[in-house]
A and B are shown apart, each in its own frame.
Chain A
Amino acid sequence: MKRVYAKEEVCAGCKLCEVYCATAHSEYPNSIIKAFLKQETKPVARILVEGNQSLTFALQCRHCEDANCTKACITGAMHKDPETGIVINDESRCVGCWTCILACPYGAIKRNENGRKVASKCDLCSDSGEIPICVQKCPNEALVFMEVSEGGK
Chain B
Amino acid sequence: MATDDLTLVKRVRGGDQRAFKLLVERYQRKVYAVALGMLKDKEEAMDVSQEAFVKVYKYLDHFKGDASFYTWLYRITVNICIDIIRKRAGAGGEAVEFDETMPMDVSEANIGALGSRLGTNPQKSALRRELAEKIQEALAAVPEKHRAILLLREVEGMSYEDLSRTLDIPKGTVMSRLFHARAKVQKILSQYLELDEAKSGVGSE
Instruction: Tell me, yes or no, whether A binds B.
Output: no
Listed in ascending order, the chain B residues whose CB lies under 8 Å from chain A are none
Listed in ascending order, the chain A residues whose CB lies under 8 Å from chain B are none
